[in-house]
Amino acid sequence: MSGSTFGNKFKITTWGESHGKALGVVVDGCPAGLPLTEDDIQVYLNRRRPGFSQFSTPRKESDQVEILSGVFEGKTTGTPISLMVRNTSQRSGDYGDIATYYRPGHADYTFDHKYGFRDYRGGGRSSGRETIGRVAAGAIAAKILKTLNISFTTYVSSIGDIVSDPADFDADYISKNELNMPDAKSCEAASAYLSDIMAQNDSIGSTVKCIVSGVPAGLGDPVFDKLDANLAKALMSIGAVKAVEIGDGVMVSENTGSYDNDGFHIEDGVVNKNSNHAGGILGGISDGSDLLLTCHFKATPSIASTQKTINKSGENIDVSIRGRHDPIIGPRAVVVVESMAAITIVNALFDNMSARMDKLVEFYK
């Protein structure tokens, strides 16, 4: 237990269930002196909000964040920052039956087994709403990184078998469409596809990619706190993620060494890589080039079509899940992926500061 804390010197502790009073996070270890307002965080939270897209649940939550501590006269004090979002639109009525059976693809069965009982309303702690805490903390992490010129480009790269063609990639387009896809062509095809899926009372999987630029070389602590190892944990911890790739990812198992190795060359006195199959991480340590991360999300488990399962009395039954559910997870998860990556990188930046005697001596001079 006690698995709701992540990070070392930038440590976040999230809390809250989908149908409880509120959700939030405590960020412990944000350096002092960072300008911070509710707006900085609200911008991030708005990117995950339900009820604003034809493709997401009609449940409307304003999800307004409140900063309860850790900020004084507009800047972080270095003390813990507590952030909270009150739940305003729970409809417990939608969930009454669920207490009695185990929804396929949901954590009902496993939570029941682990804890002896569960808050059956919605997903409880396993609900997508627990990402509110992650994203609120991610907003702070992103602001720290921005100060160091580290930036993110995160988007939905595929929905079902509709894959965005890298040749059509347009970073500016990502925030201009509801699906957070990076080109109009695949976005259009995916929209049509999603309408079909919804008409069939079904849901579909998706892929989210995250490019991180400006990461200094040297981050990551071999052998277990390698940057890719911690990113894998951070991303796999997001609900519905079933695979994480770095750089060429699964393709590396099919390629040769001569193909895969990213050689170096000097250009105008700057070290450059000849390619980036590695995705910016070598030997578990960042190499100065873009980090290339990919997460694969399964389809939303809650679907209205009929499924076979069992109830708590041990009987085989058929169920059809009502309620307000997204047919796809990827688009709203883009900001979650970005947040977890940001939090992990901030931790790696802090952890790296004690790597060398010369830097230590200089710091305390």
179 within 8 A of 154, measured Cβ to Cβ: no
Residues in region 65-94 near a copy of itself by CB under 8 A: 66-70, 72, 75-82, 84
Q: Has 166 been labeled as part of a binding site?
A: no
Residues in region 275-294 near a copy of itself by CB under 8 A: 277-279, 282-288
Q: Which one, 138 or 247, has the nearer CB to a copy of itself? A: 247
Distance from C-alpha of 302 to C-alpha of 114, rounded to nearest angstrom: 21
Q: Which of 28, 94, 178, 188 forms a contact with a copy of itself (CB under 8 A)?
A: 28
Q: Which one, 116 or 167, has the nearer CB to a copy of itself? A: 116
- Render 111-171 in DSSP notation, one character per residue: HHHHHSS---STTGGGSGGGHHHHHHHHHHHHHHHHHTT-EEEEEEEEETTEE--GGG--G
Q: Report, in Å, the least distance between residue 364 CB and a copy of itself.
A: 5
**Helical (H) or strand (E) element with 232:** helix 227-236
Q: Has 320 been labeled as part of a binding site?
A: no
- Render 262-330 in DSSP notation, one character per residue: --EEEETTEEEES--TTTTEETTEE-SS-EEEEEEEPPPS--SS-EEEEBTTS-EEEE---S---S-SH
- Across-strand partners of 73? none
Q: Report, in Å, the least distance between residue 41 CB and a copy of itself.
A: 15
Q: Has 302 been labeled as part of a binding site?
A: yes
Q: Has 31 been labeled as part of a binding site?
A: no
Q: Report, in Å, the least distance between residue 153 CB and a copy of itself.
A: 19
Q: Which one, 167 or 253, has the nearer CB to a copy of itself? A: 253
Residues in region 319-338 near a copy of itself by CB under 8 A: none
Question: Interface with a copy of itself includes 301 (CB under 8 A)?
Answer: yes
Residues in region 333-362 near a copy of itself by CB under 8 A: 349-361
Q: Map residues 302-321 to x or -, x wherever contact with a copy of itself holds by CB under 8 A.
A: xx-x-xxxx---xxx-----
- Reading the block at residue 186, the tokens are 């695949």
Q: Report, in Å, the least distance between residue 171 CB and a copy of itself.
A: 21
Q: Which stretch binds a copy of itself (CB under 8 A): 21-29, 50-58, 167-175, 182-190?
A: 21-29
Q: Map residues 238-257 to x or -, x wherever contact with a copy of itself holds by CB under 8 A.
A: -x--xxxxxxxxxxxxxxxx
Distance from C-alpha of 206 to C-alpha of 14, rounded to nearest angstrom: 25
Q: Total number of residues binding a copy of itself (CB under 8 A)?
A: 168
Q: Which one, 16 or 138, has the nearer CB to a copy of itself? A: 16
Q: Report, in Å, the least distance between residue 331 CB and a copy of itself.
A: 13
DSSP, res 231: H
**Helical (H) or strand (E) element with 362:** helix 357-363
Residues in region 90-129 near a copy of itself by CB under 8 A: 102, 104-107, 109-111, 113-119, 123-126
Question: Interface with a copy of itself includes 6 (CB under 8 A)?
Answer: yes
Q: Has 127 been labeled as part of a binding site?
A: yes
Antiparallel, parallel or unpaired: β 291-297 and 241-246 = antiparallel
Residues in region 188-207 near a copy of itself by CB under 8 A: 197, 202-207
Q: Has 11 been labeled as part of a binding site?
A: no
DSSP, res 97: G
Question: Interface with a copy of itself includes 64 (CB under 8 A)?
Answer: no
Which of 149, 140, 146, 173 has its CA nearest to residue 45? 140
Q: Which residues are annotated as a binding site for FMN?
A: 125-127, 283, 298-302, 324
